[in-house]
Amino acid sequence: MAWGIAGIGAILESEGRNLWDTIKVPFVSVLADPPCALPRNHFIRAHYVANAYVFEEWLRIQREFIRSPQYSTLINCVGLPSQPERDTIPWRDRPQRMAFIKTGGDPEARRKDWATLPPRWRAILEDAAAVAVQRSTGDITDIFLAACKEHGLSTEHRLEILFTLMQALDLYVRECRMTSVVTAVLDLPVDIYGRGWEYLSHKATRARFHPAIDAAHLASIYAATQFSLNTSPNISSGLHERVACGLDSRCCVVSDENAFMKKMLAHVPTFFGIDPNSPELTDRLAQIYYDKTDYTDATQVGVDLVSRQFDGRTLMFSLLRIAEEMRSADPLFSLLPEALAFV
């Protein structure tokens, strides 16, 4: 078995044919990003390449719109490597109080770009965005599809148009959410890492903006931080790895929350759910920042949860099971002609 992330390696070819079909080795492509971001990596004409989705929402888009002839399924567990520096500095002694590690993006600049789109497309985005930005964190697919229907756009044809609009809406809503959170901490001594924050950095009175960092340094930043900020993708069925990495690094995690997170993290004393749309967001984040509670011992709850729910071994067994299912299908290839198997 071989495996990769985000479709990397899945489309390798040998003499004009998919490599994994040629060598008859199952390849499991683990997919966490929305299919509209790079649809090509979700549709591959190969028996030996499986799409293994992290979130139910993206499997639904595969099933209803992409309809690849590949084997497509959910994985049972999102495995994460243990944070190697989690115990380097006890929580109470960490030098960095609060940090946000994320690429920024100006939602209003993105929305202005919609003016160049055909009127119907622009109306779909405007209507869907007006609803989606007011909702709590979660899947926005149905909001988008309802707007398409309202404006008479077929969602069954010309998928390149559908996915382009879906991607535009997805990015806009996520950028609105992250902008709300960063705006709320501009007057706090919070460290913000990542490119793309120029539209807000000049407004900061105490927040500190840093360039993008090499991913190799993430563990050390988490290990030196008490409160890790997060905003989530538009999903309802899981959580972003920033949340799991933060908890596993013995950070307190401050994040918007979807239905899955509210249930899974309800008992974790070092998780703080916030509402980016709340008019009290600034006061809430300031309250968390200046709270004198010592969470050093309580961080163990988050470490234990990540160890149980995001175990790397469980992920590997899940991928091996998918690979075995593909191998079990070998004798079935002859039941269908090639043309029918890849329609």
pLDDT digits (tens, 9 = 90+) for 287-315: 999 999 999 999 999 999 999 999 888 89
Buried b (16+ CB within 10 A) or exposed e, 225-262: bbbbbbbbbbbbbbbbebbbbbbbbbbbbbbbbbebbe
Residues of the chain short of pLDDT 50, as ranges, are none
Which are the contacts of 75, defined by CB distance < 8 A and separation ≥ 6?
Answer: 30, 52, 53, 54, 315, 318, 319, 322
- What is the reported pLDDT for 342? 62
Structure tokens at 135: 């909702």
Structure tokens at 324: 């075995």
Identify the three-state secondary structure at position 3.
strand
- What is the reported pLDDT for 82? 87
The Cα–Cα gap between 200 and 107 comes to 11
Positive or negative, the Cα torsion across 192, 197, 199, 202? positive
- Residues forming beta bridges with residue 252, ordered by sequence position: 227
CATH class of the domain comprising 91-309? alpha beta
The Cα–Cα gap between 272 and 288 comes to 8
Domain residue ranges of the chain, discontinuous segments joined by +? 2-79+311-341, 91-309
Q: Are 188 and 289 in contact (CB under 8 A)?
A: yes
- What is the reported pLDDT for 87? 96
- What is the reported pLDDT for 156? 87
Residue whose pair of structure tokens reads 């006890």 in the numeric block: 90
- What is the reported pLDDT for 341? 65
The Cα–Cα gap between 11 and 13 comes to 6
- What is the reported pLDDT for 43? 94
Q: What backbone phi and psi angles, to 5 degrees, belong to 120?
A: -65, -45
Among 226, 342, 315, which Cα is nearest to 5's?
315
The Cα–Cα gap between 14 and 150 comes to 46
- What is the reported pLDDT for 6? 93
- What is the reported pLDDT for 334? 75
* pTM for this prediction: 0.94
- What is the reported pLDDT for 335? 77
* HSE-up (13 A, CA, CB side) for residue 170: 21
